[in-house]
Structures are given as structure tokens and as C-alpha cells.
Amino acid sequence: MWLDRLYTVGIDVGSNSIKTVLMEHDDNGSEAKLLFSDLSKIRKRETKLVAEQSFEQVLSRASLTPDDIAYVATTGEGDMVDFRRGHFYSMTAHSRGAIHLNSAVRSVVDGGAMHGKAFAIDERSKVLTYKMTSQCASGSGQFLENIARYLGIPLEDVGALSKESTSPEMVSGICAVLAETDVINMVSRGISASDILKGIHLSMARRLVGLLRGVSAEGEVMITGGLANDTGFVAAIQEIADSENMNVRFNTHELSIFAGAIGAAIWGAFRHKKLAQSELQHQ
Amino acid sequence: MECYVGIDLGSTTSKAIYMDAHANILGRGIINSRHNYTLACQIAQEEAENHSRFAILEQSIRENGTGQSIAATLMPVLRAKYKLAEHNAQLAELRRICMKDLDNWKDPMAASLYLEAVEHILHRMEQEAVDIYREDTAEKSDFFRDIATSQFMEFAQDQVRRHVEELSFERLVGIFDRAIIRVESVSFAKSFSAHIDFAYREVAAMPAFAPYRDQIHAAVKIADEREFNIVRIVGTGYGRQRLPFEKEQIRSEILCHGLGAHYMFPDTRTVLDIGGQDTKAIQVDGNGIVENFQMNDRCAAGCGRYLGYVADEMNMGVHELGPQAMQATKTIRINSTCTVFAGAEIRQRLSVGEKREDILAGLHRAIILRAMSLLARSGGISNEFTFTGGVAKNEAATNALRTLVRENYGEITVNISPDSIFTGACGAALFARN
């Protein structure tokens, strides 16, 4: 092992998938580089097991062993990951990840499987204020995934289809579980998949823009979480924000879905150095 | 023979009832409907017709002097073998579709890899088919999808474990997911003649029944050749607007459930129906005519789908939920209202070591609590009370309901028919007859 390299792993345990990143940090902690990442859907398997496999996956790709990792940090619902060293609250991790991906952002929208969150941050990624969706999964990422499944459309095609829409079907607050039959009804009424998806994207976007307004977001906004990969959603949220005259520009990054894991890995490195320093002082 | 048909197109299952001119139920059919209502209607009806044929078959055997003694032992075996024939036909179709799909894969390397894995999985499913339909095996789901899904998932896990480097579980299950939808869209119910013939030959080869083979054959022939002259069909249920029927042949679910419950239990005054995706509390008069009702159809919490989602989440069949919940030693309070959130809460509770059965007991209580508030809003319970819909088949749910009814309304007669899932279809058949 090279002494001047510091490796940390960040694991973001979501309700639908587990995101793991392996990062390399330079000595003074100012530079962090992502080496490998892994996205594993849980698919009803034991979360702990999936997390372990995901962890092993990134290590084996880097030809590293668990002993080479200075700090394993979790975020999200990481309580069940028993090989972690520390855990970071999800907003803390997401904001740090967002700043890492684009240092200009001052607000973050986290579109996760179950919750939508919006928070304003400063240049050091400190969370200033936040808003969250309530106790209903309508309009969540899981909701969108269910709809795609009911329509028989692979998740990766959803964005492009939604952007083709010419007259979006207006939907508002339908139950994430009952949506299946609602969608069947729309299909049998002859509404195209792209109009259904766009309508759903707009309704989801409206909800999240409402949250953003609640944290007085302005300027650059980073979308994190699974929804960041959905170009149809990104277009819809910009459309809604523009129509409401909000001065925001939405950013995504190909690694947006890993923002939480990246943030956790960076905080892990930070904490590791702090610990190492205090150990030195004690000696 | 003349018959009247009631069809209840639910969100999760479609039910059909065949009724004769004297309002006797001839047969009933149920299938899981997810995709195409016209097809669901057709298949449910065919199932009901087959069920009627079985009733005729049983009757023919009982009416024959010596046959009476074997009817009780013969019928379960004959039914099981018939189900096996149906199951095998569906398996063959599943195999055909999976192979055809794999044939179209662009990457020949991956295709041959997955082909081999799917081949292994299907082979094991085919081998186990006979064991599933032994007449003495424990309660199982009525639906091919449920049985096939749990088998495929289990065997796919095995394959992935063996070939960790090459196979993705996700992709394997994807092959199945795409195929099963199409298997469900094929009607196998029409093949009564072929399947009953298979069942007959299996039975005739058994020492216990071989001496009676001629009688059995005669009964099979009568049942197979009986013609049904359908006088009128009435449709109800969530998908009723999609039925290819005249307006007069469609009735609301509320009316049908009220009338159906009255037919099954004439003294009923309050009906609770927990269906797949709506819950209804109905007050009826002495003739089964609806006086008042309350309904929840905007949120899955409190509907049958809630339990369906939970079953999915716990990797169980819906029919296994109740029995497992009955093993509970305590009832865990479920804090989430939303179904999706409850799913996450389940996973979290399992990961901290709570027992499945205790969590399930809590989930059953949660769904009944939602229904109780609906009942209260519809006018409460004052006299005989009937519980219908798919959830009424679930013992843990009915126990929770009985407890809560007693706590809130005192000693009330609670009627639960084993055929309560057919209440709506039964009401529709009665409307068809009148």
C-alpha cells in the first residue's frame, strides 16, 4: 500500500438501491478523485447482503482489500451496514457530493426513491435550510419506477420518451401503488406512453419546485438521487421553474446518483484525518 | 342448460359466476387480471364454465350407485390432476416465450449464457410441477403467476450464486417478467376437453380408482359435452366500463356487493368489502338494496393491494400472509400510512430483528383499522355484518376485524363466506337473472 494515498468508501443505502463509491484523496485533503462506483438494485434482497456485495465489487475492481480502506462511511439508511466506520446524515452527504460535482451550486434537489428533499447550502456544503415531502410516496422516484414498469418501458428510455410528448396528460397526486390501474386506464383511453410520462414528470416537478421555493433557492441547483438520470424529469422541472419565474438553473452530473455516496466518502476522509491527528497529539 | 352470468372485473382479480334460472350457483371462476379487461372477462367466464362442468361431473358420479362411495376421494385427485395439466400447458408456453425472446438477443454470447441458465431454471420448474399438484400438498395460490414467480426467483438465485461472474439476477428475472405477462394473456381454460382427458387417464391408472374407470369416463363425457346457453350477462367491478356490454348490462359494484351479500346472508344490514384497490362500507335494507355507503379508492392503504404490496416486499405469496400472521406472539404497530412507506418500514423492522409474523400481524391490524373508520363514516354497524372481498379469505384479517368490531360495536353476528370473493359477481348474476 502506498502511504501517500488515502482511500475511502462511501455507501449510500437507499430504499431501492445501494450506491457505493471508492475514492482516492491526496495528502492535504483538498483533492478527491472517484476511482470506481457501483449501483446495485436491492430487488427485495437483504439490504446488508447487497451492501456487502457492492462493497466487494468496487474493492475487487481496484484490486484493494478492506484493510486498504481508511474509512468506510455510510449515508441514507446505512444502519444495517455493520462494517462501516461512520455514518453521515443524508443531507450532509448529498450537499458535500453536490459541491464536489459542481462547486457553483447553492441548492440541491434530492429526488430519491421515496422522499423528495430540497435544501439550500453554502459554498462549504453546509445545509442552511431544507424542505421534505410528506408521508406519501405519490410523486416519488419509486412511483415513477412503478409507472415505467406498468407501461412496460425500461427505465433508461423514460426520459427520451417523455421529451417527445406533445400534449402531456395532466395527473395530480395519484397513489403510487394504485397508479398501476390509473395507467392502464390512460393507456386504454389511447393516451400515448410519452404523454403519460411527461404528465407524471410535470406533476413530480411541480411538487419539488414547491419545496425549492420553500428554501428560497436561487441560481445553480444540483439534482441528486436517481431522478437526476432521468432527462425527461430534468426538462420538466426546468420547465415548471421557468413557468413560475424562478431564477434557478438545474444541473445534473453523470455521477449525480452517487452524490450521497461521494459526499459520505469525502466526509469519511475528513474524519479519518481528524482522528489520525488527534491520535498523534495524544502520543 | 340455461344460465345467467355475473362478471366482476376487479383490479387484481376477475370473477365470474354461472347461475341457473332458480338462482342456484352452477360454477365460479377467478383469474388474476392485470392487463386486458376484455380478455380477463373471457378467461374468468371460461373458468366459471369449467367449474360448472366439474360440478356436473361430480353430480354424475354421485348419482351413479357405486360412484357415491368414491366421489369424496376422487374429486380432489381429479381436480389436482386437472390443475397439473393446466399448469404444464402454461409452463410450456412460458418456455416457448422465454426461448423466443432469448433468440432475439443481439449479443450471441450473452444469449447462450442466459439460455443455459433459463434452461436450468425451467427444467427444475417442470420437474417440480408434479409435486405442486399432489392433492395432499398445503394450500397454494390459485394462480400460475404466483407459483411460477416464487419458483423462478428461487432457482434464479441459485443460478446467480453458481455463476456470480457472468449472470445478473436482474437480467434473469427480467426475462421472466416480460414472458409471464404474455403467458397470462393466453387462455388455457378453453382446453377443458384436453385437460380433463389427461386428468382422467392419470386417475384411471391409480389402483384406488381403476375399478371405476368406466363410470368416471361416462361422467367426464357428460360434463365435457354439456352446453351452456347464456341468457344474459351482467358486469360489475372496477373495469366494468371496459366491458363490451350494453349499458343495461352493467351495474355498480356497490349495488352488486349489497345484493350479493344479501343473497349469501339474507339478514345482512352492513357490508364491508375490501377489494384490490378500493374499500367500501355499505348499508343495505332487508332486500339487499343499498341505503348508504362510503368508499376509499384514492389510496392503496386500507385496500387489498396494500397486502399485495406487502407480500411482494416480503417475497411471499398473498395467500401465505394470513397463515404467517396467525403465528404472531405480539402485534407490532405500523407507523406508516402510505403503502410504499410501510414497505420500507417492514424492511427496516426486519433488519433490526423483529419477527415477520409480528410485523404481519401489525399490518393486518392496520388495514382493518382503516376499514373501521370507513364503516363508522357510513353509519356504523347495528345489525348483522358481512365481510366480503378478497381480503375476507385472510384469517388474520378476519380475526383482527372480529376483534375490532366487538370492541367498537359489541356482540354482532359477523358473516364471512369462504366464497366471499365472489360476492360482487354473484350480485351481478342475480341482476342478470332479474
Domains, in order of start, for chain A: 6-97+258-282 (3.30.420.40), 103-252 (3.30.420.40)
Q: B383 at the A interface (CB within 8 A)?
A: no
The alpha carbon of residue A53 is apart from the nearest alpha carbon of chain B, in Å, by 11
What's the rounded Cα separation, in Å, for the pair A235 and A99?
Answer: 22
Of A77, A142, A184, the CB nearest to B340: A142
* pLDDT surpassing 60 at residue B318: yes
* pLDDT surpassing 70 at residue B254: yes
Nearest CA in chain B to A173: B298
What's the rounded Cα separation, in Å, for the pair B379 and B358?
Answer: 32
- With a pLDDT cut of 90, the percent of chain B lying above it is 56
User: For the packed helices B144-162 and B108-132, what is the interaxial angle rounded to 10 degrees?
Assistant: 130
- For residue A171, list chain B residues with Cβ-Cβ distance below 8 A: none
Q: Are residues B296 and B411 in the same domain?
A: yes
Q: A155 at the B interface (CB within 8 A)?
A: no
- For residue B11, list chain A residues with Cβ-Cβ distance below 8 A: 178, 180-181
Residue B323's domain is classified under what CATH number?
Answer: 3.30.420.40
- What average pLDDT does this structure show over B62-79? 82
CB B396 within 8 A of CB B325: yes
**Last residue of one domain, picked from the residues B184, B216, B248:** B184
Question: Per the domain annotation, does B259 fall within a domain?
Answer: no
- For residue B338, list chain A residues with Cβ-Cβ distance below 8 A: 135-137, 176
A52 contact partners, CB below 8 Å, separation of at least 6:
A83
What's the rounded Cα separation, in Å, for the pair B340 and A89?
Answer: 22
Q: A85 at the B interface (CB within 8 A)?
A: no
CB A214 within 8 A of CB A185: no
Mean pLDDT over each residue of chain B, to the nearest integer: 89
Question: At A201, which amino acid appears?
Answer: H
Q: A114 at the B interface (CB within 8 A)?
A: yes
Contact B344 A114 (CB under 8 A): yes
- For residue A142, list chain B residues with Cβ-Cβ distance below 8 A: 340
Residue B376 CA: distances (Å) to CA of A255, B294, B337, B370, B408 = 51, 9, 19, 10, 10
CB A205 within 8 A of CB A248: no
- Among residues B375, B312, B372, the alpha carbon closest in space to that of B346 is found at B312
Contact B340 A143 (CB under 8 A): yes
- For residue A14, list chain B residues with Cβ-Cβ distance below 8 A: none
Interface of B with A in 148-167 (CB under 8 A): none
Contact A178 B341 (CB under 8 A): no
Question: Per the domain annotation, does B3 fall within a domain?
Answer: no
What's the rounded Cα separation, in Å, for the pair B23 and B231?
Answer: 13
Contact A178 B300 (CB under 8 A): yes
Of A43, A48, A142, the CB nearest to B169: A43
- What average pLDDT does this structure show over B388-397? 90
What's the rounded Cα separation, in Å, for the pair B281 and B294?
Answer: 5
Contact A152 B242 (CB under 8 A): no
What's the rounded Cα separation, in Å, for the pair B118 and B59?
Answer: 43
CB B235 within 8 A of CB B245: yes
Q: A133 at the B interface (CB within 8 A)?
A: no
Q: Over the stretch A8-63, which tens digit does the pLDDT of each residue have?
A: 999 999 888 999 999 999 876 678 999 999 999 887 778 888 999 999 999 999 99
Nearest CA in chain A to B238: A181
- For residue A15, list chain B residues with Cβ-Cβ distance below 8 A: 344, 347
Question: Per the domain annotation, does B177 fall within a domain?
Answer: yes
CB B261 within 8 A of CB B289: no
Q: A190 at the B interface (CB within 8 A)?
A: no
Q: What contacts 24+ positions apart, CB below 8 Å, involve B115-122?
A: B117/B156, B117/B159, B117/B163, B117/B167, B117/B172, B118/B172, B118/B175, B120/B155, B120/B159, B121/B151, B121/B152, B121/B155, B121/B156, B121/B159, B121/B172, B122/B91, B122/B94, B122/B95, B122/B98
Question: Per the domain annotation, does B373 fall within a domain?
Answer: yes
Query: For the residues of B369-392, what is the DSSP string, one character each?
Result: HHHHHHHHHHT---S-EEEESGGG
What's the rounded Cα separation, in Å, for the pair B131 and B140?
Answer: 12
Q: B351 at the A interface (CB within 8 A)?
A: yes
Domain total in chain B:
2
Question: Per the domain annotation, does B31 fall within a domain?
Answer: no
CB B298 within 8 A of CB A97: no
Contact A47 B351 (CB under 8 A): yes
The alpha carbon of residue A113 is apart from the nearest alpha carbon of chain B, in Å, by 10
Q: B11 at the A interface (CB within 8 A)?
A: yes
Question: At A282, which amino acid appears?
Answer: H
Q: Are residues B153 and B278 in the same domain?
A: no
What's the rounded Cα separation, in Å, for the pair A75 and A261?
Answer: 7
Q: Are residues B271 and B416 in the same domain?
A: yes
- Whose cell is 384436453? That residue is B194
Q: Are residues B277 and B399 in the same domain?
A: yes
Question: Per the domain annotation, does B227 fall within a domain?
Answer: no
Measured distance between the N- and C-terminal CA atoms of chain A, rounded to whole angstroms = 24
What's the rounded Cα separation, in Å, for the pair A248 and A250?
Answer: 6
The alpha carbon of residue A87 is apart from the nearest alpha carbon of chain B, in Å, by 17
Domain that holds residue B132: 82-184
Question: Per the domain annotation, does B313 fall within a domain?
Answer: yes
Q: Over the stretch B104-134, which tens digit does the pLDDT of each residue have?
A: 988 888 899 999 999 999 999 999 988 888 7
Rounded to the nearest 5°, which phi and psi values hold at A165? Answer: -60, 140
**Last residue of one domain, picked from the residues B184, B209, B232:** B184
Q: B176 at the A interface (CB within 8 A)?
A: no
What's the rounded Cα separation, in Å, for the pair A75 and B242?
Answer: 47
**Last residue of one domain, picked from the residues B131, B159, B184:** B184
The alpha carbon of B342 is separated from its chain's Cα centroid by a whole number of angstroms, namely: 24
CB A16 within 8 A of CB A41: yes
Q: Residue A155, CB half-sphere, CA atoms under 13 Å: how many?
A: 13
Query: For the residues of B231-264, what is the DSSP string, one character each?
Result: EEEEEESTTGGGSSS-GGGB--HHHHHHHHHHHH
Q: Are residues B281 and B394 in the same domain?
A: yes
Q: Are residues B270 and B127 in the same domain?
A: no
pLDDT in tens, chain A (283 residues): 445 689 999 999 988 899 999 999 987 667 899 999 999 988 777 888 899 999 999 999 999 999 999 999 999 988 778 999 999 999 999 999 999 999 999 999 998 888 899 999 999 999 999 999 877 888 888 889 888 888 888 888 999 999 999 999 988 777 888 887 778 778 878 899 999 999 999 989 999 999 999 999 999 999 999 899 899 999 999 999 999 999 999 999 999 999 999 999 999 999 999 888 888 888 7
- Among residues B14, B397, A195, the alpha carbon closest in space to that of A183 is found at A195
- Among residues B277, B286, B273, B249, the alpha carbon closest in space to that of B374 is found at B273
- For residue A47, list chain B residues with Cβ-Cβ distance below 8 A: 347, 351
Buried b (16+ CB within 10 A) or exposed e, B130-166: eeebeeeeeeebebbbbbbbbbbbebbeebbeeeeee
What's the rounded Cα separation, in Å, for the pair A187 and A150?
Answer: 10
Question: Per the domain annotation, does B20 fall within a domain?
Answer: no
What's the rounded Cα separation, in Å, for the pair A181 and B35?
Answer: 9
- DSSP character at residue A104: T
Strands B13-19 and B2-9: antiparallel
CB A250 within 8 A of CB A217: no
ipTM value of the model?
0.76
Contact B339 A135 (CB under 8 A): no
